Structure 1
Amino acid sequence: MSEDTPALNRAQTDTDAPETIEPIRDDEVATPEETPPVADEPAKRRGIVVPVLLVICLLAIAGLGWQWWAMRGELAKTQEELTRRLSESDNMAREARASARQSIDTLTSVQGKVGLLEAKAEEAGGQAAALDALYQEFSRTRDERTMAEIEQAVTIAGQQLQLAGNVEAALIALQAADARLSGFDEARLGPLRRSLKRDIERLRAAPRVDIAGITLRLEGLLESVDRLPLAFTGEAVGSEAPEKTATGSPMDDPLGFAQAVLHDWWAEIRSLVRVERLDRSAEPVLLSPSQSTYLRENLKIRLLTARLALLGRDHRTFEADMRQAAEWLGKYFDQRDEGVTETLTSLKTLAETQIAPTQPALTETLAVLKTLQGKPSVSGAGPAPQATKAAAVPKAVKPAADAPEGKPDDDVPAVAPAKAAE
């Protein structure tokens, strides 16, 4: 504004400055036409300054108004933009919170799935380890599998010899092992094959026991016990009465008739009293009916026990039962009866039968197997030991009170047999 009124400023400066009188030169003397009037010039200047100032003020006011209006528009726009952005921020915050909750739920679900996957991974690891172990087991070489099969066959053969005395089963197992080795031409298996051959030959030459045949013989003896007659029921030995040859009447031969009558009378007298001669010990052999029953039943028990001992390969018990049965049969049964004689002979023969012969051991074959497999040798197929007694048999107790005096307590078995023994 100061720049727009330079003349006014100069006029004020000129008015305020002290007046100085300078001499007028000749060349500066103005003519009347060139010299303006001094009094009208400031008034003109004032007339021009006021409108200019008004215009300037109006322009300033207009500029300020325009600037205020522009600023108001910008402020409104800014407020709208701020409101819009605040709304967007709220929406984004809500979306972010919802997304965060969803992320938390997803994270929880993922953690559960991860835990399940870890459990499955551990299970899969265990299964993988088991499969690896199975693979290692089944990936053994053909020779190792063959050695294991042969060892199992030889072990089965040894068990058959030890526990059952079954030579046939042991022979079959060894022959199967030898056949399994026949497909191998390796020199290191030669000692094993030779050992198997020797064991097979020893088993073929080993004594065999006819278990089935002996069992059938014992069954027959059991069935015949009830039919065997006791000694005191046998017929008396004596001369039989001569047959009557005369058919004539007594009047024709009175002497012969008298002799016949006398002979009949004497036969009747002898039938009342019987005299027996038993060439055995002086012990009495007459038994009461109850003692006879107990004797037969205890004899059956001995035979049943002998059969159990036979199945268990218990030779000691089998022999003792056979000898005890033969002793009772020879002491209390009628030796003149053919059935008694045959039964006694069978019992003595069976008592001398070896039902548990010593079987060959398979230790050599097992030792060769352990050497080939790199294991310590173990003896597990020795000769079959004597089996324990198969069943306990009730011992004979004292005879009944009506038994003859002087008879030993164990002379006559007088205990009633159990129903199960029958």
Structure 2
Amino acid sequence: MSEQEQNKTGEQGQKSLPDANAGKEKPSKPRSGNRISKIGVLGCLLGLTAIAGVGGLGWKGDQIWRQLPTEAQLMTRVNDALAPSRATHETILVLKAELNDTREQYSRLVSRMDNLNRKLVRLQGSDRSDWLLAEAEYLLRLANQRLLTMRDVKSAMTLLSQADQLLITVDEYGLFPVRQALAEDIAALKAVERFDLEGTWLKLNALMGRIEKLPLLPPNGFKPDQPESQTEEVLASEDTWQQHLETSALETWHAFTGQFRIRTDNHEAVTALLPPSEELYLRQNLRLMLEQAQLALLQGQEKLYQTSLANAQSWLQTWFLNTGPEITAVHSQLSALQQVTILQDLPDISRSVVALKGYVDDLAEQRLPVTPASTEKTSENSKPGTAESSEAGQ
């Protein structure tokens, strides 16, 4: 019980007791006890109020705590909130990689355009020395071809001299080794023992032109005593039947004896004579022999050249009439042509063209721009996966 209740109970008890001391005077009580009891009551009220407030706060806190989300819910909300930003970051990385690829492609395109521009400028004729060098290289190659295929030392010498004049016109210090090799090739050609190749070829060609004029061996081996023109004149002058009969008998005899061949100029075995219709074959075969000699002359085949001329002479002696100035001149010319030595030791004149080709290639490499070596590395680093890893490291 509280102090107030105890005080009240004591007061009631005191009233119920008989007033034994009624006649006596009551002593006066001090006022301090009443004050203490009031303070205690006030303290109890304040304590109760505090307890009630603390309980209300606890209940309210419990309600608030129950309304708060769990940790998993918080993480889910955080992930949901960060998902758009992550997608945006990945998109940015992909766009950066594409931008790097576009820059590399642009740089390569610019480099190619520069190369094409320089080539176009040279093709338009701005660099005259390139044309002169190309022409000199063509002349050197042509000289080698003439010497190897036609064995024409004179033409090869002329072509090398023309190429040297073109190199003098270019007037570049780097051409010194080329001109030195060209001078060595010219000196080697000058040391070759020359013969008149063109003159020999023309002589053979002239002989082929005279084949149609050469007389073939007659089928009967001799000429008739009286030509047909004289027989016609006799018939015109003497118109008797006796003369006419005699002339007819003579013509019949000549036709009969014309079917035989009588040779008295040698003691060799008699070979069968071709009929007159084969005259074209005889002349054409002789022409082919001389053409074979011309081809061997151009190719430098000494044995084939001599064999072809010997066959031509044998063919003339067998199937043509070997009397008269025409056939005698042909035999003498063939004998003179057989005395010509066509076999020559030709030098190698390819040093100059090889040196000039190397100079032109080096000049082209110096003029064209070189692609940087870091292009491939940059293209590898520009891949999306690499870009993401670099961004993640930062």
**TM-score, normalised with respect to structure 1:** 0.47
Higher-Rg structure is: 1
**TM-score, normalised with respect to structure 2:** 0.50
